A = this chain, B = another copy of it.
């Protein structure tokens, strides 16, 4: 999660919403990492999670990330949660919750409806993640 938080800080420095994500293989090896780039690309789907999943699939040469874990600093939105299900990840670890935009504990609660739900761990790195987001949006207002 430290690597995901570092990526979130990079996002803020680049003027993007500070969310970072890392994919690790079953053996703990880091396969991919990314931060939000919706503005710079521009690409409405370029959330940290989607970019990291795409990179990891390329590294593995397989669109199914069997046994892998996604570490992300914020509760994934519905798009990203559903992508995690599509990619067949084994585990999702996230930091802060997102009552407005989240799709795991909030909104459509994607995994309650999906055939492929990962094991869930939340609250990891929550304080630092929430502080980064708060500082970013305070600066913007």
Q: Chain A: residues with CB nearer than 8 A to chain B?
A: 38-39, 41-46, 50, 53-54, 57-58, 61-65, 77-79, 81-83, 85-88, 103, 107-110, 112-114
Contacts and interface: CB of A to CB of B under 8 A. Distances in A.
5 contacts: A42-B58, A42-B62, A44-B53, A44-B83, A82-B108
A83 B110 CA distance: 14
Given A43-B58, A78-B81, 4 more contacts: A41-B57, A44-B86, A45-B83, A108-B112
Number of chain copies forming the complex: 2
A69 B79 CA distance: 19
Contacts of A53: 44-45
Interface of A is mostly: loop
A107 B113 contact: yes
A78 to B, nearest CB: 4
Given A43-B54, A44-B86, A54-B45, A110 B61 contact: no
Contacts of A87: 44-45
A38 B54 CA distance: 10
Contact of A44 (B39, B45, B64, B113): B64
Nearest to A100: B115
A77 to B, nearest CB: 7
Nearest to A61: B42
Contacts of A79: 79, 82-83, 85-86
